[in-house]
Structure 1
Amino acid sequence: MDITVLWSADGVLAIGIAAVLPRAEARLRIRAAVREAAARWLNLSSEAISVESTPGAPPRLLLAGRPAGLSFSHDDGWSLAAVHLHGAVGIDVMRVQDIPDWQQVARDYLGPQVAEALAACPADRRPLALAQAWTAREAALKCAGLPLAEWDGAAPACRLQLLSLPAPYAATLAC
């Protein structure tokens, strides 16, 4: 499996696998990839690493029985995972594309400041700016353990890191 390391610092590892797969298969592949990458990163046996998933709760990675923060994201073509040894983590990926109703989406989900910044952005750069803002919001919500919801004025306090993926994708890591 070809695993791309997107970020590795301060007890945080973010990886990605590029593949166009049905969602169920992508979920299995990224779980196997995170076990493999974490084993190499921490010099552990992959058998000592397991993914724990409970419906309605964020997934967790167990490293030799110790829990670590874990987050997944998928878009057609990429599956990403982030591990944080010392706390919560969130990751999100999105295909950059022109969205006709971007103003409504930004106002409803990203808040008035982001909507204003996007309106001021040149039209040819707006799709990337929107994707970066969206992935930042989604990653921060995942890090805080919150579901996607319309803008309520609250912004989870997270450190955000844009991740480098080939065009046409944007991705953000939050911890």
Structure 2
Amino acid sequence: MDALPVRWWADGAFTDAPASGPVHVVGVRNQPDRATARRTIRAALLDALAASAGLPPARIRLCGAPGEAPYALLDDGRRINLSISHDGDLSVAALRLDGGAVGIDLMRVADIPDWQAVARDYLGPACAAALARVPAPARAAAFARAWSGREARLKCLGQPLAEWRADEAGEARFARLAASACWPLAVPEGYVGSLALPQD
């Protein structure tokens, strides 16, 4: 799989040179609570959008009710798809300047006592079996990677989290998820992150 061209926005500026692709990732850390994290990531996202689109922030509106996929409306008529994720003191967001779909997810690495039931119910029996083969010391990180990848793909396709189903509709849904391209994100130690885009 080709490297994903991503620009990271942190501390009020892009941290690396402009990439050829339309995907930009924003990250904020050390927020004291979830409400502050939501405000802070949205402010950083607005600043990154303004810098990327060459527009003042006043000409960009962030939209989307709780529980629905966020997006931005630029006053030149463009709609920019967004995805946001929070866990612990870290928040990340992705924006797609070309209007295409995007999904991002973040998860802290932690031991989950009932990981087998959760994996079987939400990730499917094949993933649960693969996780069972992972040595115990590495299983928490493997579970977090699998969960983060699934969530990013769901967000990319605009689908809610649902239990795995062993029927034709369930298999079709999982096939659509698997068709999304998914990349790991470079995030701070103790977290895993995934970014998903639809396959062309």
TM-score (norm: length of structure 1): 0.91
- Matched residue, 2:72: 61
Question: 8-17 or 120-129: which moved more?
Answer: 8-17
Structure 2 residue corresponding to 1:49, chosen from 36, 45, 60: 60
Q: 1:114 to 1:97 in 2, by over 3 A?
A: same
For 2:47, the aligned partner's letter is E
Structure 2 residue corresponding to 1:14, chosen from 25, 42, 56: 25
1:97-112 matches, within 5 Å, as: 97-112=110-125
1:160, CA displacement in angstroms? 0.5
Instruction: Name the SS of the counterpart of 2:41 in structure 1.
Output: helix
Say if 1:21 and 1:76, in contact at 8 Å, map to a contact too: no
1:40, CA displacement in angstroms? 1.9
For 2:138, the aligned partner's letter is R
- Matched residue, 1:168: 190
Instruction: Name the SS of the counterpart of 1:146 in structure 2.
Output: coil
CA distance in 1, matches of 2:107, 2:123: 15
Say if 2:33 and 2:89, in contact at 8 Å, map to a contact too: no
Q: Which runs of 5+ in 2 are unaligned?
A: 1-9, 166-170
- Matched residue, 1:26: 37
Instruction: Name the SS of the counterpart of 1:105 in structure 2.
Output: helix
Instruction: Name the SS of the counterpart of 1:124 in structure 2.
Output: helix
Q: 1:137 to 1:48 in 2, by over 3 A?
A: same
- Matched residue, 1:36: 47
Larger radius of gyration: 2
For 1:133, the aligned partner's letter is A
Instruction: Name the SS of the counterpart of 2:137 in structure 1.
Output: coil
1:131-170 matches, within 5 Å, as: 131-152=144-165, 153=171, 154-155=173-174, 156=177, 157-170=179-192
* Identical positions, percent: 47
Q: 1:80 to 1:98 in 2, by over 3 A?
A: same
Say if 1:5 and 1:13, in contact at 8 Å, map to a contact too: no
TM-score (norm: length of structure 2): 0.80
Between Structure 1 and Structure 2, how many residues are aligned? 175
RMSD, aligned CA: 2.0
Say if 1:107 and 1:115, in contact at 8 Å, map to a contact too: yes
Q: 1:3 to 1:109 in 2, by over 3 A?
A: farther
| Structure 1 position 78 matched with structure 2 position 90 | yes
Q: 1:104 to 1:9 in 2, by over 3 A?
A: farther
For 1:160, the aligned partner's letter is C
1:113, CA displacement in angstroms? 1.4
Q: Which runs of 5+ in 1 are unaligned?
A: none
Instruction: Name the SS of the counterpart of 1:151 in structure 2.
Output: coil
Say if 1:80 and 1:91, in contact at 8 Å, map to a contact too: yes
The answer to which structure, 1 or 2, has the higher relative contact order (CA under 8 A, 6+ apart) is: 1
